[in-house]
Chain A
Amino acid sequence: MLEIGIILAGTLYGLIIGLAPGIGATTGLIFLFSFISYFDPYNAVMFCMAIVAASTTFDTITSIMLGIPGANSSAATIVNGFPLAVKGRAISTISAAVTTSTINGLIWGGLTFIFLPYYTNIVLYFGIPHLWGLTIFAFTLVIFISKDWKKSAISLMLGILLGLVGVDPNTNVDRFTLGWDYLADGIQLLPLVAGLFAIPELIQRTKNVRVVKEYKQIALGIRYVIQNKLLALQGGVVGAIVGILPGIGGAAADWIAYSIAPKHGVKNVIAIEGANNSQKATSMIPTVLFGIPGAPFAAILIGLFSYINFEVGTIDLLEDIRFFDHMLYGFMAGSVFACIICFSLMSNIIHITRIPYKYYAPLIFSIIVFACVQYTGGWEDYIILFIFSLLGICVKKYNFNAPALLFGFILSERIEALTIQMVALYL
């Protein structure tokens, strides 16, 4: 009974951080350092996994209902999810997203956590050239599976260029910073995401999200997933593969799923949402087996587990069946509880959309700004947000590919590092 209560608490915590714009599993887990030591260690593992599963499901709601990423990893959902919400299909889209998230979470959570100790060799097969090839393949997909490949290529390259701002890994000196020390640590992801997606939407939005026939729409969303089950599973497979590869990163799974799925409508959302839950599950494979984080949230999880005396990547832990059982229970039950809560509360949660836009827009704008200025809290954060908001407005106005730009930005550092490493070791 206590265990169920703990998983439920983790799910509710995941609900809060999932719904809050810009706060995902990574940020949510950081907060746990202050109180996680009061838990029984195994229950703490369960609690953490429930948070990971639940926040990944709940951040979808913010992305679809408000057009603002609930977390960095849910930015891809906005592209098609929010327009559907504007057209009055919010509930069916969320319903489809939650269904595919839960199914893929359960499938890949089960496959991951039941067989976790047996996966060691899989990760070792992917060397630097393979990771490099996979990243280039992902770039190619983003460019050519789009309406206008030229604009997609330009957007992708611009994203890569922005990602190169910071420190040159070859010389360890600042690069493309225009003499501004603030940029020496690179452009922060959240202001870029907010500027590209959320702010233009807030400024240019003229209509409220419309909600119609709620209960029928829930059933309709589930039916969409059944009708597109192969697409949902395809998204899950993409997420699972990306999750297992530590060099690629979390949000990349969504964008790869976005690129290979049909570009418009709920089908795209189904693929993306399948990817982000399976990615969360399989990213635990390199994390637990080798102590190598499969995604940013996993890096925090390593610290938390260490804090409660579970040293990931050690032989001792791999022999601790109880640890794996608690990971399994936490993730699986967290996924199920999140699904139940979503469907139960959906008709209440969507009431936010009945509030006239002019009343809640300032609040949302304030939350976005608050989240984006947490990097230093100084005026520089505001400037960066302003610059990328202008960029986002231009990208939207001239129909450039904002997802491709973000995709390039996210993988820019990785492709540069992988290229340097491959040249040094293999050429």
Chain B
Amino acid sequence: MKYFILSLLLVSSIASADFTFIVPQKPGAGTSQWTEIVVREMQKYLDEKIIIKHIPGARDIPGFNSFHEKYMHDDTYVMVSHGGNGVSFLQEEVTYDYSAYDSIGLMNLNIIAGKLKHSDMNPVKFAAGSGMVPEAYAMTMLICGPNKTTDQYIKCFKDNVVWVKGMSGGERRLAFRRGELNGTRENPAAYKKHVEPNDKVELWFHHGILQPDGSHTDDPNYLGYQFELLFKEKWGVLPSGQFYNAYKLVKSFRDGLQKAIWVRAGNPNAIVLREALHKVATNPESISAIEKAVGKYEWIIGDDGNNRRDLLMTFISKDAMEVLVYFNREALGLASVNKL
């Protein structure tokens, strides 16, 4: 009976919630934890109840698809997405579409790659995964140089990189620590925690921080290691061409939308949610709680979030998409699809 009563209480609490945040992962996963923390802080300023609804599924796609197809038409439903959703949006058959939403806020971050100090990196041994696609592009260009066709880059990648599939994040860290992998990558908080303390490791490259004008700038925490700067230092010219455009596209969608909160475009609740998030972002106590738990990232709130999304959409071009999908399929073994 007590379970029946508990179930009823649970159901009634969901029914009475003012907002439901959909997370496309199981409880306890990275974005789920992030959402727990952000929701707790937002509730202080909303003075209303927020329920987290987990809709897990393969590559975290079904949850976002469900939001788009079913839930977003109810104005109390809010979507929480992550960088992996951004990559899937580009290269997989998904129904969700960022242009159909209003941004409540998003977090932009950089990804940092490290390598073993005394390794000749020949070949590079790196953990695979659709989330690692931007690193594959960056290391291929750094190794192979400018002015190559996509086919030449594919051959160069296969000759110089061991792309190790089937590794979780934890296994990747352990394999790197054991020296079975000689390269790895992390977000800034995880890099500081897992990579920097290891005295056998040095900084390899980072992707830079996306700016409102569409450029990427050097990260003040890792000055001089932005991919574009290292490329120019090694090869004498800045990277350019279709392959570079594909790289810029995929890294921007992953890192620029690393954590994002969305509602249906025109949802009247967007105002109150943005206000709450703005208060969270400007309250030192709240932001400190978030930063301590999930790292220090740049917040982009409200219309600025929409502008950032619109900027990312301009990176999508026929050529960039063709190269992205072709390289993914031929070099990385991913079954990517070109939707353009």
Closest B residue by C-beta to A27:
B27
Q: Which of B169-177, B212-220, B256-264, B297-305 contacts A (4 or more CB under 8 A)?
A: B169-177
Is A242 close to B, CB under 8 A? no
Closest A residue by C-beta to B91:
A172
- CB–CB A424/B164 < 8 A: yes
How distant is B190 from chain A, measured CB to nearest CB, in Å?
A: 8
Q: Which residues of A contact B3 (CB under 8 A)?
A: 363, 366-367, 370
Is B155 close to A, CB under 8 A? no
Is A154 close to B, CB under 8 A? no
Q: Which of B57-65, B136-144, B201-209, B227-235 contacts A (4 or more CB under 8 A)?
A: B57-65
* A-facing residues in B158-201 (Cβ within 8 Å): 162-167, 170-171, 173-175, 177-178, 180, 193-194, 197
How distant is B123 from chain A, measured CB to nearest CB, in Å?
A: 10
- CB–CB A128/B175 < 8 A: yes
- CB–CB A246/B174 < 8 A: yes
The distance in angstroms between the C-alpha atoms of A33 and B125, with both chains bound, is 37
- CB–CB B33/A172 < 8 A: no
The distance in angstroms between the C-alpha atoms of A30 and B29, with both chains bound, is 10
How distant is A354 from chain B, measured CB to nearest CB, in Å?
A: 18
Is A178 close to B, CB under 8 A? no
Is B334 close to A, CB under 8 A? yes
Q: Given that A246-B170, A292-B173, A375-B56 are contacting pairs, would A171 and B334 also be in contact in the complex, using a CB cutoff of 8 Å?
A: yes
- CB–CB B177/A290 < 8 A: yes
Q: Which of A216-224, A309-317, A383-391 contacts B (4 or more CB under 8 A)?
A: A309-317
Is A299 close to B, CB under 8 A? yes
* B-facing residues in A109-136 (Cβ within 8 Å): 123-124, 127-128
Is A293 close to B, CB under 8 A? yes
The distance in angstroms between the C-alpha atoms of A90 and B171, with both chains bound, is 40
Q: Mark interface residues in A311-334 (1 if CB within 8 Å of B CB, else 0).
A: 101110000000000000000000
Q: Which residues of A contact B40 (CB under 8 A)?
A: 34, 37
Q: Which residues of B contact A34 (CB under 8 A)?
A: 36, 40
Closest A residue by C-beta to B6:
A370
Q: Given that A167-B58, A313-B193 are contacting pairs, would A417 and B173 also be in contact in the complex, using a CB cutoff of 8 Å?
A: no
Closest B residue by C-beta to A292:
B170
Of A29, A33, A172, A181, which one neighbours B62 at CB under 8 angstroms? A181
Closest B residue by C-beta to A376:
B55
Q: Which residues of B contact A417 (CB under 8 A)?
A: 165-167, 171
Q: Which residues of A contact B333 (CB under 8 A)?
A: 170-172
Is B316 close to A, CB under 8 A? no
Q: Which residues of B contact A214 (CB under 8 A)?
A: none
Q: Which residues of B contact A416 (CB under 8 A)?
A: 166
* B-facing residues in A30-68 (Cβ within 8 Å): 30, 33-34, 37
Is A265 close to B, CB under 8 A? no
Q: Mark interface residues in A399-425 (1 if CB within 8 Å of B CB, else 0).
A: 000000000000000001110110011
Is B15 close to A, CB under 8 A? no
Closest A residue by C-beta to B37:
A307
Is A356 close to B, CB under 8 A? no
**Contact count band on A:** 35 or more
Closest B residue by C-beta to A294:
B170
Q: Which residues of A contact B28 (CB under 8 A)?
A: 26, 29-30, 299-300, 303
The distance in angstroms between the C-alpha atoms of A33 and B174, with both chains bound, is 27
Closest A residue by C-beta to B129:
A172
Closest A residue by C-beta to B30:
A303
- CB–CB B174/A290 < 8 A: yes
Is B283 close to A, CB under 8 A? no
Q: Which residues of A contact B174 (CB under 8 A)?
A: 123, 246, 286, 290, 292
The distance in angstroms between the C-alpha atoms of A307 and B32, with both chains bound, is 13
Of A185, A376, A420, A425, which one neighbours B180 at CB under 8 angstroms? A425
- CB–CB B62/A184 < 8 A: yes
How distant is A40 from chain B, measured CB to nearest CB, in Å?
A: 15
Q: Mark interface residues in A236-266 (1 if CB within 8 Å of B CB, else 0).
A: 0000000000110000000000000000000
Of A30, A300, A315, which one neighbours B197 at CB under 8 angstroms? A315
The distance in angstroms between the C-alpha atoms of A314 and B293, with both chains bound, is 14
Of A170, A247, A303, A367, which one neighbours B171 at CB under 8 angstroms? A247
How distant is A4 from chain B, measured CB to nearest CB, in Å?
A: 28
- CB–CB A184/B58 < 8 A: yes
How distant is A59 from chain B, measured CB to nearest CB, in Å?
A: 17
Q: Mark interface residues in A268-308 (1 if CB within 8 Å of B CB, else 0).
A: 00000000000000000010001111000001100100110
Which 8 A-B pairs give the minimum distances between C-beta atoms? Answer: A417-B166, A184-B58, A292-B170, A169-B166, A173-B335, A420-B166, A303-B33, A300-B28
9 pairs across A/B with beta carbons < 8 Å?
Answer: A34-B40, A181-B57, A290-B174, A292-B170, A299-B170, A307-B33, A314-B193, A366-B3, A417-B167
With A37-B289, A420-B165 given, name 5 new contacts (CB 8 A). A29-B28, A166-B58, A290-B194, A417-B167, A425-B125
Chain A interface residues toward B at CB < 8 A: 26, 29-30, 33-34, 37, 123-124, 127-128, 166-167, 169-174, 181-182, 184-185, 246-247, 286, 290-293, 299-300, 303, 306-307, 309, 311, 313-315, 363, 366-367, 370, 375-376, 416-418, 420-421, 424-425
Chain B interface residues toward A at CB < 8 A: 1, 3-4, 7, 27-28, 33, 36-37, 40, 55-59, 62, 125, 130, 162-167, 170-171, 173-175, 177-178, 180, 193-194, 197, 289, 292-294, 333-335
